A and B are shown apart, each in its own frame.
Chain A
């Protein structure tokens, strides 16, 4: 009897014949590789919608900045460049640890996988703490969006427009950071159970892609909000 005929008996593309079906391989996929590729396409489609979601805000920002250049220039001086740069470094480093986590999973290094996921999670936490300090400072000074803007002593009008965009863009980004932390925690719990190895690490890979997108968006937010001149 030729065991390679049914998909269930071809779980491994390295020639190992498994009589048991690996529960991590879904029945509609022939191989783990196919499953990973299909999942990646789905994830990239989701990331495309995320790019367009933020894209709307970026376009709005560009239009309002073009029509209120003085207000945007004056308003961005209220932001702390060094805190923004610190958060950029933290997020870039977390992207590095995330890709190392994926690499560890793909090379069967369970302990390294867990360690890198923990570091990534910690970096996300640091990012949010720094952001919370910044928000608190804005709140104290009344640098709030729209009609809540109550900063005293402005010489340039319409600065509330900048802060509307600042809070919506960094706020939506912050929500994504929190979502990423939840996803990383979930991956971490699975990793501790030993779910992932070099044949199956799709969730680590997909969470990694999502986390890099969060980093990618911050790469544009930082110069736009903090560094415009």
Chain B
């Protein structure tokens, strides 16, 4: 009985192509799109899109588009069971957290130059003098919030 129902569900027993997706035409079209995007990304890199991060962002957007095409069609994510997509997307999510966390930390603080690479200070005078960062060397006992921004560094004693 069980065999009969199985056979009925698949009347063409010798048709061995149950889960084949895509095909030469689709894959060829994807390859064409990838090559066109490669030309576009090379072309876009020769144009100045307004300084700053604009060029990098455009290049990364095109790369992400290309990567999506490869993952969705060549790697069959489009047709796969959800689990593979979940694995891949969660990987990208944590990679994004890693990148964003590190990058915002980097741009939010001054680059820690070694002390011996700092431009020479005019003349070290009394403690607390010289071009220091506000708040870091505020005199003990004074509130940095009130004193540091208002009072200029104490003039060096003569």
Contacts and interface: CB of A to CB of B under 8 A. Distances in A.
A92 interface: yes
A224 B55 CA distance: 10
A15 B15 CA distance: 11
Given A52-B95, A67-B106, A92-B38, A37 B81 contact: yes
Contacts of B107: 66
A71 B6 CA distance: 67
Interface in B1-42: 2-3, 6-7, 9-10, 13-20, 22-24, 27-28, 30-31, 34-35, 38, 41-42
Nearest to B88: A44
A101 to B, nearest CB: 11
B59 A223 contact: yes
A165 interface: no
B74 A96 contact: yes
B interface, by DSSP: helix, strand, loop or mixed? Answer: helix
A35 interface: no
A107 B17 contact: yes
Contacts of A220: 60, 63, 67
Nearest to B106: A63
Classify chain B: how many residues form its interface, as a range.
35 or more
Contacts of B88: 44, 47-48
Contacts of B31: 92-93, 95-96
A180 B143 CA distance: 62
A215 B10 CA distance: 38
A4 interface: yes
A13 B103 contact: no
Contact of A100 (B17, B27, B45, B59): B27
Given A40-B80, A95-B70, A223-B41, A51 B91 contact: yes
Most chain B C-beta atoms within 10 Å of own C-beta, residue among A16, A58, A219, A228: A219
A95 B56 contact: no
A95 B74 contact: yes
A199 B16 contact: yes
A97 B90 CA distance: 28
Contacts of A164: none
Contacts of A15: 3, 6-7, 9-10, 13
12 contacts: A13-B10, A37-B81, A41-B83, A47-B88, A48-B90, A52-B95, A66-B106, A95-B31, A216-B71, A222-B41, A223-B60, A229-B45
